């Protein structure tokens, strides 16, 4: 199998703009931004934060895979155009998620990394479309997905012709209800040992609460990972999705200082 260490011993290198992760790059990319693109002002403030910190990549969901049809569903194409505007004006790379195969082409066209969400990772229409581009695809592990199923999802993209696949652990469901999900660091160790794909961790969705995000991010970085995906919002309390887990911009801006020494200790840089 193409994702296995038997097939390819070295971790694959994937380029997100000028930032290369995986291989022997030693880079841990920090990707931040809101759960959802909500307005031009909100995503512009977010772009300014990312740019101001010297980071390269902004996240923001436009096609939101919400659990309830009565919750905010995302701005759709309008949001994608706002994100594309920030990409252009600030020279940032952007990552946004695909909810289903109907808008996968738009997302491929206007983003630098295609995020296949935890609920979408079984969607073969999406996976097959992602195989036909050369843009990086970040596949998030479903909350009830075994490591084998997770890797097989990646195999659809790899075997279809796109080698730029990144795995993302974002928490799985356990018996525990006090935290939103359970960040599976054992699973990360397994993937590091057995697969050749770069791995990005998302402590925000795993924890579900802002208070746990920094300590979890530290634990992730200590494992020698290729990147972090962290939600941050200019006014978290007013966020239209995932309000309780998003960092405010002040907390987000301190992340690098806290994480850098840990990254360095394991031979990585953020
Ligand atoms: C997100 O990144 O905002 C998101 C919806 O993530 P997940 O697919 O992991 O739930
Ligand atoms: Mn979210």
Q: How far apart are CA 90 and CA 71, in angstroms?
A: 30
Cα-based distances in Å from 220 to 33, 195, 223, 263: 19, 17, 5, 9
Q: In residues, how long is the chain?
A: 270
- Averaged pLDDT of the chain: 97
The region that residue 267 occupies, defined by phi over 0 for left and psi between -120 and 50 for alpha, beta otherwise, is: left
Report residue 28 as tokens.
Answer: 């841990």
CATH class (in words) of the domain with range 28-64+73-265: alpha beta
Using the mean position of ligand 2's atoms as its centre, give its distance from the Cα of residue 80 in Å. 16
Q: Which of 62, 67, 95, 115 to mutate to test the pocket of ligand 1 (most atoms within 8 A of CB)?
A: 115
The Cα-based distances of 201 to 58, 90, 100, 117, 198 in angstroms read 15, 25, 23, 13, 10
**136 CB contacts (<8 Å, ≥6 apart)?**
14, 15, 16, 112, 113, 114, 164, 165, 166
Domain boundaries, the chain: 28-64+73-265
Q: With bands split at pLDDT 50, 70 and 90, how would you rate the model's confidence at 54?
A: very high
CA torsion angle 99 107 172 58 (round to 10): -140
- Site residues for ligand 1, CB cut-off 6 Å: 35, 61, 65, 97, 117-118, 140, 170, 205
The Cβ-side half-sphere exposure at 78, using a 13 Å CA radius, reads 6
- Type and span of the H or E element at 155: helix 147-159
The closest ligand to the CA of 59 turns out to be 1
* Percent of residues, the chain, with pLDDT higher than 70: 100
* CA 261/CA 221 separation, integer angstroms: 10
pLDDT band, residue 41 (cuts 50/70/90): very high
pLDDT of residue 62: 98
Residue 55's pLDDT band (boundaries 50, 70, 90)?
very high
Instruction: Give nearest CA residue, ligand 1 atom 2.
Output: 35
What pLDDT does residue 73 have? 96
Predicted TM-score (pTM) of the model is 0.97
Q: What is the mean pLDDT of residues 130-157?
A: 98
Per-residue pLDDT at 12: 97
Q: How crowded is the C-beta side of 3, counted as CA atoms within 13 Å?
A: 28
Crossing angle of helices 185-194 and 213-222, rounded to 10°: 30
**What pLDDT, on a 0 to 100 scale, did the predictor assign at position 70?**
95
**Contact (CB, 8 A) for 237 and 203:** no
Contact (Cβ atoms closer than 8 angstroms) between residue 33 and residue 59 = yes
ipTM field: 0.98
């Amino acid at each position: 199998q193409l994702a296995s260490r038997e097939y390819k011993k070295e971790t694959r290198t994937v380029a997100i703009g000028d930032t290369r992760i995986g291989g022997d790059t030693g880079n841990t990319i920090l990707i931040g931004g809101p759960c959802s693109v909500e307005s031009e002002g909100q995503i512009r403030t977010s772009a300014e934060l990312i740019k101001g910190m010297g980071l390269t990549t902004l996240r923001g969901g436009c096609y939101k895979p919400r659990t309830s049809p009565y919750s905010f569903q995302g701005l759709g194409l309008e949001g994608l155009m706002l994100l594309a505007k920030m990409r252009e004006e600030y020279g940032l790379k952007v990552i946004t998620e695909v909810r289903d195969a109907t808008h996968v082409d738009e997302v491929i066209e206007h983003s630098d990394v295609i995020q296949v969400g935890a609920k979408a990772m079984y969607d073969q229409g999406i996976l097959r479309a992602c195989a036909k581009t050369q843009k990086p695809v970040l596949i998030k592990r479903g909350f009830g997905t075994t490591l084998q199923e997770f890797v097989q999802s990646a195999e659809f993209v790899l075997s279809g012709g796109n080698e730029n696949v990144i795995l993302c652990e974002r928490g799985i469901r356990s018996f525990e209800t006090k935290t939103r999900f359970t960040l599976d660091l054992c699973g990360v160790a397994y993937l590091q040992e057995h697969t050749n794909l770069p791995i990005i961790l998302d402590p925000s969705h795993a924890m579900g609460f802002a208070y746990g995000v920094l300590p979890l991010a530290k634990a992730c970085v200590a494992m020698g990972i290729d990147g972090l995906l962290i939600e941050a919002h200019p006014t978290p309390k007013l966020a239209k999705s995932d309000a309780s887990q998003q960092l405010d911009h002040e907390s987000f801006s301190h992340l690098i200082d806290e994480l850098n020494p840990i990254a360095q200790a394991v031979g990585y840089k953020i």
